[in-house]
Amino acid sequence: MRVDYDEYLVDDNLHINWYPGHMKKTRELVRNNLKLVDVVVELLDARIPFSSKNPDIDNLAGGKPRVVILNKSDLADRNKLNRWINYYKDLGIKAIPVDTMKGVGINKLVDECRNVTKGKMDALIEKGRKERPIRIMIVGIPNVGKSSIINKLTGRKSTATGDKPGVTKGKQWVRLKGNLELLDTPGILWPKFEDQEVALNLAFSRAIKDEILDVETLGLRLIERLMEIEPEKLKARYKLEELGETGLDTMDMIGRKRGFITGKKELDYTRIAFTVLNEFRDGKIGQISLEVPEDIKN
């Protein structure tokens, strides 16, 4: 069976594909407005830098100077985060960890935008051109935190924010302090997820809406992943002496430990799944990264 929810395609095996019409329009918006900007700021989720990277951006950005932001860095494993920073350094790109809740990394973002455009700005002044604002384009997948970063950059609530994909609806120019201008764009994914592990990582991080997914299966898949990469954090959060032999066994143990029992005295799998998903997303299970540079498939 396949279910079509306008923007998403999901089958019984949790095969996820997503490319709503407005994202095609966003792709064209980015392409058409790229000539107006001096630097492209690409936002990635620090927990899933590879999965949250839209491969289209490399082609769309072309030769424009690039700055990478590893947002939600407070939720990521610090050791793995440093490995991603070094990975981008080897590519000649500055990757800046950012925590918008505390404002960490925001000033470094501004400084790096100035740094990568200094040559161009100096050349314009030498030609007798009047100094103008540095124009920045922010691009990233849905729910990666673009609006929150813009609000930190401006010091006020300039754009709508929300903990769900699709809050930013259209092109917005935002004037920043220090003679900077920023072009925000809606989040954009890509037409087809060839790697379903990427799709799962996006779903785990809420880049894809829970409402159209089989949340019980998604929660089970996350438990299986955490059993593999962070078993001690999983045990500590749910006060388990040992994990089950399978993901479903562990899911049952978490449900019993938390008392998630229905009126029919059966385990409430929907509640268990939502709890694990939300506690991972909020960092309550611990600082967890789901991938490292070595996971990238050539």
Model confidence pLDDT, tens digit, residues 128-138 = 888 888 999 88
pLDDT the model gives residue 23: 64
Rounded to whole angstroms, how far apart are CA atoms 222 and 202?
11
The phi and psi torsions of 246 (rounded to 5 degrees) equal: -125, 170
Q: CA end-to-end span of the chain, whole Å?
A: 33
Q: Work out the average pLDDT over 75-101.
A: 95
Q: Residue 40 pLDDT > 50, yes or no? A: yes
Closest listed residue to residue 188, CA positions, set 165, 209, 172, 216 = 165
pLDDT the model gives residue 44: 96
Q: Work out the average pLDDT over 232-261.
A: 97
Q: Residue 195 pLDDT > 60, yes or no? A: yes
Which of 15-29, 136-150, 213-227 has the highest average model confidence (pLDDT)?
A: 213-227
Q: Residue 193 pLDDT > 90, yes or no? A: no
* Residue 137 C-beta-side C-alpha neighbours within 13 Å: 26
Binding-site residue set? 71-74, 143-148, 187
Name the average pLDDT for the chain.
Answer: 83
pLDDT the model gives residue 230: 97
pLDDT the model gives residue 290: 97
Q: Work out the average pLDDT over 159-170.
A: 43
Which tops the pLDDT comparison, 93 or 189? 93
Q: Work out the average pLDDT over 212-221.
A: 91
The class of domain 19-184 in CATH terms is: alpha beta
Q: What H or E segment, with its residue span, contains residue 96? A: strand 94-98
- Residue ranges per domain, the chain? 19-184, 214-295
Q: Residue 11 pLDDT > 90, yes or no? A: no
CA distances from 201 to 173, 193, 222 (A): 31, 11, 9
pLDDT the model gives residue 22: 58
Q: Residue 76 pLDDT > 90, yes or no? A: yes
pLDDT the model gives residue 252: 97
> How is residue 145 written in tokens?
């935190």
The residue to which tokens 């981008």 are assigned: 88
pLDDT the model gives residue 47: 97
Binding-site residue set for GTP? 71-74, 143-148, 187
CATH code given to domain 214-295:
1.10.1580.10
pLDDT the model gives residue 297: 65
Q: Residue 32 pLDDT > 60, yes or no? A: yes
Q: Work out the average pLDDT over 133-154.
A: 85
Which tops the pLDDT comparison, 156 or 181? 181
Closest listed residue to residue 208, CA positions, set 59, 45, 16, 31 = 16
pLDDT the model gives residue 283: 96
Where residue 272 falls among pLDDT bands split at 50, 70, 90? very high
